[in-house]
Structure 1
Amino acid sequence: MSAIEEPRTAATVGKDTGDSPQLSASAGESTLPQLPYAEAVHRALCAVEVLPDTVETGVRVETLDGQRELFIRLEWLPGHDDLLPEELQAAGVIAQWSHLAGWSVSSGTDIAEPDIDALADPDTVAERCMHALLCGLRCDCEKPPPGRWEHAAALHLALAAYDERGETNR
């Protein structure tokens, strides 16, 4: 059963920050320390009315040595109204963040890395997603404003603590 088909019991994992833009003191100890960032990005996407069909946040074990990767995955399914270029309409778009690699955007077999910080301001992420959906993955009609999320330093510390816990649990 995929994560999309499973009942929404995952809400008990991690921390729901509600409407608060601030990380809680225990965010560094959270199972999913990227959850407040994912929520902030989702709010920014809502503000520009570019709503993905699915939003996932979680942990993947990608490597043979068992290294864990925290991720945020935003997906606009094929045929979504916000996908304007035909090739995107046919394949859909996935914008994805990893604490190991930062942001990427893909459609089918095509993948691009937007020119934004790994912990970019959520409004910047939303802007880049909007341009990718409307103009294509490599849209360069407007450069996003530089800048990091206001809580990037706290999230960076939480991610480092997460990685340290992972090293001791192997």
Structure 2
Amino acid sequence: MPEISNGGKQYTVKIREGVQFHEPYNREMTAEDVVWNFRKILDKEYGAAGRGAYVGTLVGDGIDPQETVQKTGEYEVTFNLAEPYAPFLYKQASMSAFAWFSIIPPESLEEHGESLGTTDTGAWATGPFQYVPEESQGGSKFVFEKNPNYFREGEAGQLPYLDRLVYQVVPEASVRSTQLKSGG
């Protein structure tokens, strides 16, 4: 749980040690990566869709993102909000849960530029599944493979338990129904 101080304006978050980015980057995620990602999102010139969620707290008139998000240890990040914002932690969780924001290795953006995150390229993070662009078909089929370096374990062993996930988009309701009934 983060440490909240300074009247609800400062959140200090410990980063789990040993968390690895997906291959081919396959290196440990650190506080430096978290800070880089947040500063990228807060950069008005970059144009991230999630920037608006932080206006008035981490970015905005008279607020310097270089001061609001800081590395305070190898595995520690401190967020200095311009004013108290009670749903700050909820906002972080919901943005991550709905895939609006994931911590990516900075070198993946340098390597892939504007194609990063597209169905042809995919993106790299630290989650339980890795996108497989070679087997996916933009708009109709999305293939994900188990991340062998995922950091969490469950009661039955290493997570995730599934080896693959395939999302098949079937726009026609009657075809979906037939496929469900036939096991497709």
TM-score w.r.t. the length of structure 2 is: 0.25
Determine which structure has more spread, i.e. the larger CA radius of gyration: 2
TM-score by length of 1: 0.26
